[in-house]
Amino acid sequence: MTITRTVATARRVVQQLQHDHRTVALILVVPCVLMGLLAWMLSDADFNQYGAPLLGIFPLIVMFLTTSVATLRERESGTLERLLSMPIAKVDFVLGYALAFGLLGVVQALVVSGLAVGPFGLEVAGPTWALIVVAVIDALLGTALGLFVSAFAKTEFQAVQFMPALILPQLLLCGIVVPREELPTALRLLSDVLPMSYAVDATTEVMTSTSMSADFWLNVGIVALFMAVGLALGAGTLRRRTP
Amino acid sequence: MTDESPAVICQDLCVVRGGVSVLPGLSVRVASGRVTGLLGPSGSGKTTLIRSVVGVQQVASGTVSVLGLPAGSAELRRRVAYVTQDASVYADLTVAQNVGYFASILGAPASDVDRVICEVGLEGREGDRVGQLSGGERSRVSLAVALLGSPEVLVLDEPTVGLDPVLRRDLWKMFGGLAATGLTLLISSHVMDEASRCDDLMLLRDGQLLAHDSVAAILTSTGTSDIESAFLSLVEGAP
């Protein structure tokens, strides 16, 4: 692994995004509109309860979709084969994507959280920066999972289908719909091994306690661990030789 | 054809793709410092052979060595340049951004970017998005990337498809010039009239090598005046 190649790859992905204003606009605007919709339709108490966790989940979903399609495009266009015939480590490629989309995730998290706690009036007990930390780590998790699943998709159609297959079950089991401790035992155990559960737990900490407890950092750490494993698997599933 | 330290040696190379044996045991040596043309109809195994040489093809059995190292070795990733059949460049980046990115991956000097863009005749187009270029221009961007750094072996899969005759002539002249400086070029084509531009020819059909010799020697041995006829005579003469 080399820093220059990782950074060059990240810069190249950012350059590609710079040429695609519509995608960037959608990535930034859609979560804001959804958050506004929630603020409008829910009572203040309900908005605080559902808005905060969704603040972290939107970036996860958006980055998952973006990364899995972007990586698949590299496979289909032959640029991935060409890159892997060059002196670039697989980890450089994966980290380059994570860095670029992580950056986009930071911007997205700042914009959406800014709007949510500002005009939309989201109130949390803890500091706003903690919400942003969760949103960014979620965006990175989405990128890592997207990189990983793109190895199992042969077409962009298939890649998009991994979203409902992998993300929606997590959304149902992460504690927003039904508190995790009230789930049937089997489902609760399943939710224990899904990364989104910990992302929501971290947000719950921010919502309820004024000081950032060790629990908050533990949950953030667990999400980061899932991200690291996702990136490692993403790098591991890249193949220099193909059939 | 010279036999002193060939740049590429394939030994009993077998490749199976999608259950079909594409290369059923090919043994061939590519002379170094020469332009070797790999000719044959579509489906003859040209791309599979090229991918095996670059080391991106899963091989069922047999060996491929390039510059004395197993094909695909980490050390070869800087010494072997590869142009795929489709222009493998980013359509949503400009010409300069594409070449610049690959230059930083290869660790090529920054001055290389301008040099290779000039060599493929795209000066003045640096700021154009590749997706808006014509097919021929796009494949020149792809070719420019292959010229970055100082590769010792250039492996090109149909690099001149869809190019205008003037540019094709210029590119073949450049290939010849590169070989004169000691580079080894392996260039596939299904256009038989490009054969005369090569030093050596490999005629491939159904994964079998019909002939491998200098152009003149192939014409003499088949008693024909052009490579198309030579190819036909070899196919018909085959048992």
* Residues forming a β-bridge with B189: B39
**Residue A59 pLDDT more than 50?**
yes
CB-CB neighbors (< 8 A) of B58 in chain A: 241-243
Q: What is the pLDDT of residue B121?
A: 87
Are B55 and A85 a contacting pair at CB < 8 A? yes
Selected for mutation to probe chain B from A82, A88, A90, A95 (highest B CB count within 10 Å) is A82
Q: Does A12 touch chain B (CB under 8 A)?
A: yes
Q: What is the pLDDT of residue B4?
A: 61
Residue pair A110/A191 in contact (Cβ under 8 Å)? The answer is: no
Q: Please write the tens of the pLDDT for every residue from B136-175.
A: 889 889 999 999 998 999 999 988 877 788 888 888 888 9
Task: Residue window 103-132, chain B: list those with CB within 8 Å of chain A.
Answer: 104-107, 129
Q: Does A4 touch chain B (CB under 8 A)?
A: yes
Q: Among residues of chain A, what percentage have pLDDT more than 70?
A: 100
In the predicted model, what is the mean pLDDT of residues A74-92? Answer: 92
Q: Does A184 touch chain B (CB under 8 A)?
A: no
Q: What is the pLDDT of residue B30?
A: 94
Tell me the shortest Cα–Cα distance from B222 to chain A, in angstroms: 36
Q: Does A20 touch chain B (CB under 8 A)?
A: yes
Q: Please write the tens of the pLDDT for every residue from B175-188.
A: 999 999 999 999 99
Q: Which of A222-226, B2-6, B70-74 has the lowest mean pLDDT?
A: B2-6
Q: Among residues of chain B, what percentage have pLDDT more than 70?
A: 97
Q: Does B92 touch chain A (CB under 8 A)?
A: yes
Q: Please write the tens of the pLDDT for every residue from A8-29.
A: 999 999 999 999 999 899 889 9
Are B93 and A15 a contacting pair at CB < 8 A? yes
In the predicted model, what is the mean pLDDT of residues A161-186? Answer: 91
Q: Nearest by CB to B72, which of A11, A87, A241?
A: A241
**Residue B191 pLDDT more than 60?**
yes
In the predicted model, what is the mean pLDDT of residues B66-82? Answer: 93
Q: What is the pLDDT of residue B25?
A: 92
Task: Give the Cα-Cα-Cα angle B161, B166, B167 (nearest 5 degrees).
Answer: 50
Position B132, amino acid: Q
Helix (H, G, I), strand (E, B) or coil at B151: coil
Q: What is the pLDDT of residue B93?
A: 96
Q: Does B79 touch chain A (CB under 8 A)?
A: no
Q: What is the pLDDT of residue B238?
A: 56
| DSSP structure class, residue B31 | P
**Residue A159 pLDDT more than 60?**
yes
In the predicted model, what is the mean pLDDT of residues A87-114? Answer: 91
- DSSP-assigned states of every residue in A81-92: HHHHTSS--HHH
CB-CB neighbors (< 8 A) of A81 in chain B: 56, 84, 88
* Residues forming a β-bridge with B13: B26
Are B101 and A12 a contacting pair at CB < 8 A? yes
Residue of A nearest to B98 (CA): A12
In the predicted model, what is the mean pLDDT of residues A48-73? Answer: 89
Are B105 and A9 a contacting pair at CB < 8 A? yes
CA torsion B141-B147-B153-B157 (nearest 10°) is 10
Q: Nearest by CB to A83, which of B54, B97, B105?
A: B105
Are A85 and B104 a contacting pair at CB < 8 A? no
CB-CB neighbors (< 8 A) of A87 in chain B: 74, 77-78, 105-107
CA atoms within 13 A on the CB side of B173: 8
d(CA A34, CA B129): 34
Residue of B nearest to A78 (CA): B88
**Residue B3 pLDDT more than 60?**
no
Task: Residue window 77-96, chain A: list those with CB within 8 Å of chain B.
Answer: 77-79, 81-88
**Residue A191 pLDDT more than 80?**
yes
* Most distant CA atoms of chain B, gap in Å: 55
Residue of B nearest to A77 (CA): B88
Residue closest to A84 by CA, chosen among B72, B144, B101, B152: B72
**Residue B76 pLDDT more than 90?**
yes
CB-CB neighbors (< 8 A) of A20 in chain B: 92
Q: What is the pLDDT of residue B1?
A: 44
Q: Please write the tens of the pLDDT for every residue from B14-68.
A: 999 988 999 999 999 999 999 999 998 888 999 999 999 999 999 999 999 999 9
ipTM associated with this complex = 0.88
**Residue B2 pLDDT more than 50?**
no
Q: Nearest by CB to B106, which of A16, A77, A87?
A: A87
* Sign of torsion over alpha carbons B180, B37, B32, B104: positive
Q: Among residues of chain A, what percentage have pLDDT more than 90?
A: 49
**Residue B237 pLDDT more than 80?**
no
Are A87 and B82 a contacting pair at CB < 8 A? no
CB-CB neighbors (< 8 A) of B84 in chain A: 78, 81-82
Tell me the shortest Cα–Cα distance from B116 to chain A, in angstroms: 17
CB-CB neighbors (< 8 A) of B138 in chain A: none
Tell me the shortest Cα–Cα distance from A9 to chain B, in angstroms: 7
Position A102, amino acid: G
Are B18 and A243 a contacting pair at CB < 8 A? yes
- As to burial, measured by CB atoms within 10 angstroms (0-12 exposed, 13-18 middle, 19+ buried), residue B228 is middle
Are B90 and A243 a contacting pair at CB < 8 A? no
